[in-house]
Amino acid sequence: MIVDFAISPIGVGESLSAYIAEVFKIIEESGLPYKHHAMGTNIEGNWNEVMGVIKACRDQMLKQTNRLSISIKIDERTGVTDGLKRKIASAKEKMG
C-alpha cells in the first residue's frame, strides 16, 4: 500500500517548516520506504504500519498546536511491493 499524506498545523503563522521537520523525523525513524515531495509525503507499507506513522505524526503535531489538517490518499494493490520505485520506473520506461 502506498499512502500520500500531508499534515499541517493551522493558525501558527506563515512558516511551517519547524513543525514539518518534527514530522520528517517520525517518518524517517519509522524505517518504512518514503519519499517527501513539495506538498506531502508518500509512504509504503501495510495498513497498520503506515497508519501508525500518520498517527504518530498527528500526535506530535497536536503537542505543538491545537488545530491541524491531514489529507490522506491511498493506493492499495494486493501483492505489490516496492511500489514507490516500480510505479515511477514503469512510467519512465514507457516514455521511450
Using 50, 70 and 90 to split pLDDT, how confident is the model at 31? very high
Average pLDDT over residues 67-91: 87
pLDDT of 57 above 80: yes
pTM assigned to the model: 0.88
DSSP secondary structure code for residue 66 in this structure = S
Domain assignment of residue 39, given as a range = 2-94
Q: What is the pLDDT of residues 80-96, one digit of tens each?
A: 778 788 878 888 888 87
Residue % of the chain over a pLDDT of 70: 100
Separation CA 29–CA 71 (nearest Å): 21
* CATH code for the domain in which residue 34 is found: 3.30.70.930
What would the grid cell of residue 61 be?
503535531
What pLDDT is recorded for position 49? 97
Number of domains in the chain: 1
17-30 vs 47-62: helix axis angle to the nearest 10? 150
